[in-house]
Every structure is written in C-alpha cells, then in structure tokens.
Amino acid sequence: MTTIPETLRAATERLAPVSATPRLDAELLLAHALQIDRNDLLMRQRDLSVPPGFESLIERRLTGEPIAYITGTRDFWTISLHVTPDVLIPRPDSETLIEAALDHFGAKGPAHILDLGTGSGALLLAALSQWPLAKGTGVDISPAALAVAQGNADRLGLGERAGFRLGDWAEGLDGPFDLILINPPYIARDVPLSGDVLHEPGGALFAGAEGLDDYRRIAPMLPRLLSPGGMAAMEIGYDQRLSVSALLADQGLSVAARRDLAGHDRCLVATPVPPI
C-alpha cells in the first residue's frame, strides 16, 4: 500500500509541469479527498490511507483546472468562501481593498457598504466580518454569481446583514454608501492569458480593447453614491493607475493609490473632495 508521504511526493512530481506550487496543490487535493483540512493531513500522515478519489482530483488539476474550483473553497481575508466556475477566484491581491478601508474607517467601520461586481461576495462578506455593525449590498449582473454570494453569506451567518441584487453596476441604485468596493473586469481584450484565469468567467475578466470600459462606466456613478467622508476602493491592473486615476479625478474625486504585497499598484482609493 502506498503511504501518504509517498503519494504526496509522486503527486508533486506529476503536478510540477502545470503548477508553480505543486507540493501545496498535492496537499490541498489530498486533504480534500480525505475530507480533512491540510493541517490535519500534515499532522496525521502516518495514520491515514490514500482515498480512491484522489487520482481523479490530480487528473483534473493536470488539465489546468484551478484548485479552488476542484475543492470548491477559497480562503479570503478572515473568511472561507465557496466558489464555482460562475465566479472569479478571490485572490490575496484583492485584500488590498479591505486593508485600504480598514485604514480609512478604523475600528468603527462604515455603516453602509456597496459591493459592485460582487461575484462570490468576497469583498462584501470580508468587510461585514470585519465590522459587525455594518450592513451591505452586493450587485452583480450574473444570477449564478449572486446565488454563490447568497450561499456564502448564509453559511457565514451574514445573511441578515447582506443583501444581493441583480444589476448592471449601480444603474438604478441610490446612495449614499460609506464604503464602495469595486473589482471590475480590467483585462484588455487581446492580452494572452495563462493559468487559472483560462478557466474563469470571461465576463468578469475582459473590459474592451484597453481594459478600461467598465471603469469608464463606473466612475461617473460614484459621486452620487458616496456619502460625505466615505470612500470607494477600486481594484486596478498593475499598469492602470494613471488612466483610471484620471477617470476618477474627472468626476471631482480625490484619488490615492495603494500597492499589493508584490509592490504593484492594485487599489485606487477615491474620496469626495470637501467643499471649500
């Protein structure tokens, strides 16, 4: 019988050509097959047997299918989310938006939150978990994505404070909101892609020839939606700081940029300019 350590070594070698983190992938998939968490797997390797379903999970990963879609889960901020191919996989880069909001509001937090393009609900639910008195609304154009987000809210015990609605960005929506979180599509149409994004919904990735189409639509909506003293945190591509900042400044908003852990410009913070 093959042992757990032997199985992990063999799976790591097989996954190395298709993954930058083959050992981690092997551990996560084996833990999923065993229906335990990764820490349990690593602590109990000598007590466990390889389940029959593990090989099929490895085969799926060898085709390039993302780990998050195979296991159906992804951790983000302080919460764990259910994800499906109907939504983008939440990434650590997007936590930059929550960090920006935390710096702006502190422990008191915002009272009313809007999440445009909510997807799995990651940003909204992370914010609600951070500030227990806040309430929020998530908007998405995809009914399937909204179903995932609602399910996540219910599983996390946040369903009473989170509402979700079908919509085209903020069309027909009235403010004010203290915090607006936005992670729109921002990849230019002809940019070649590789890795996990090849399996993610194209409608949540691409935004015209320059990757700016949705920013151009969203920016004019923000002044009427933001409360005095509020802020919008908007995710951007690493090379879009100047172009998106100009769109926001044209709406009379003050703009500051924040970098992610890799040092790339990742978030623009837009705030109303106080009257003179």
Which tens digit of pLDDT belongs to each residue from 86-136?
A: 999 999 999 999 999 999 999 999 999 999 999 999 999 999 999 999 999
pLDDT value of position 198? 87
| 56 and 84 both lie in a single domain | no
| 80 and 190 both lie in a single domain | yes
Residue 166 inside a domain? The answer is yes
Residues near 71 by beta carbon (within 8 Å), at least 6 away in sequence: 28, 29, 32
| 82 and 52 both lie in a single domain | no
Q: Which of 13, 39, 64 is the last residue of a domain?
A: 64
Average pLDDT of 233-259? 97
The rounded distance, in Å, linking the Cα atoms of 267 and 246 is: 14
| 167 and 60 both lie in a single domain | no
H/E segment holding residue 214: helix 213-218
Collapse the DSSP code of 266 into the 3-class scheme (helix H, G, I; strand E, B; otherwise coil) and give the result.
strand
Q: Which amino acid is at 190?
A: D
Average pLDDT of 73-93? 97
- Angle at which helix 22-34 crosses helix 54-62, to 10 degrees, equals 140
DSSP structure string for 225-242: HEEEEEEEEEE--TT-HH
Q: What is the pLDDT of residues 129-163, one digit of tens each?
A: 999 999 999 999 999 999 999 999 999 999 999 99
> Residue 168 sits in a domain of what CATH number?
3.40.50.150
| 247 and 157 both lie in a single domain | yes
Q: Mean pLDDT score of the chain, rounded to an integer?
A: 95
| 119 and 139 both lie in a single domain | yes
Q: Number of folded domains in the chain?
A: 2
Neighbouring C-alpha atoms within 13 Å toward the C-beta of 113: 34
| 212 and 184 both lie in a single domain | yes
Residue 116 inside a domain? The answer is yes
Residue 178 inside a domain? The answer is yes
| 86 and 43 both lie in a single domain | no
Q: Read off φ and ψ for residue 111, nearest 5 degrees.
A: -90, -40
- Angle at which helix 95-105 crosses helix 122-130, to 10 degrees, equals 30
Residue 71 inside a domain? The answer is no
| 29 and 165 both lie in a single domain | no
| 137 and 200 both lie in a single domain | yes
Q: What global pTM score does this model have?
A: 0.94
User: What is the token pair recorded at 243?
Assistant: 């172009």
What radius of gyration, in Å, describes the C-alpha atoms of the chain?
Answer: 20
Average pLDDT of 48-65? 96
Average pLDDT of 207-233? 96
- Angle at which helix 4-15 crosses helix 54-62, to 10 degrees, equals 20
Collapse the DSSP code of 121 into the 3-class scheme (helix H, G, I; strand E, B; otherwise coil) and give the result.
coil
134 near 161, Cβ under 8 Å?
A: yes
| 58 and 98 both lie in a single domain | no
Average pLDDT of 212-221? 97
Residue 106 inside a domain? The answer is yes
Q: Read off φ and ψ for residue 201, nearest 5 degrees.
A: -65, 125
The rounded distance, in Å, linking the Cα atoms of 138 and 125 is: 9
pLDDT value of position 58? 98
Q: Which of 15, 35, 64 is the last residue of a domain?
A: 64
Residue 49 inside a domain? The answer is yes
pLDDT value of position 55? 97
| 123 and 179 both lie in a single domain | yes
User: What is the token pair recorded at 140?
Assistant: 């998405």
Residue 69 inside a domain? The answer is no
Q: Which of 18, 43, 64 is the last residue of a domain?
A: 64
Average pLDDT of 26-36? 97
- Domain assignment of residue 37, given as a range: 4-64
Residue 236 inside a domain? The answer is yes
Calculate the dihedral angle through the C-alpha atoms of 37, 39, 40, 46, rounding to the nearest 10 degrees: 130
Average pLDDT of 188-210? 88
pLDDT value of position 276? 67
> Residue 18 sits in a domain of what CATH number?
1.10.8
Q: Read off φ and ψ for residue 263, nearest 5 degrees.
A: 85, 10
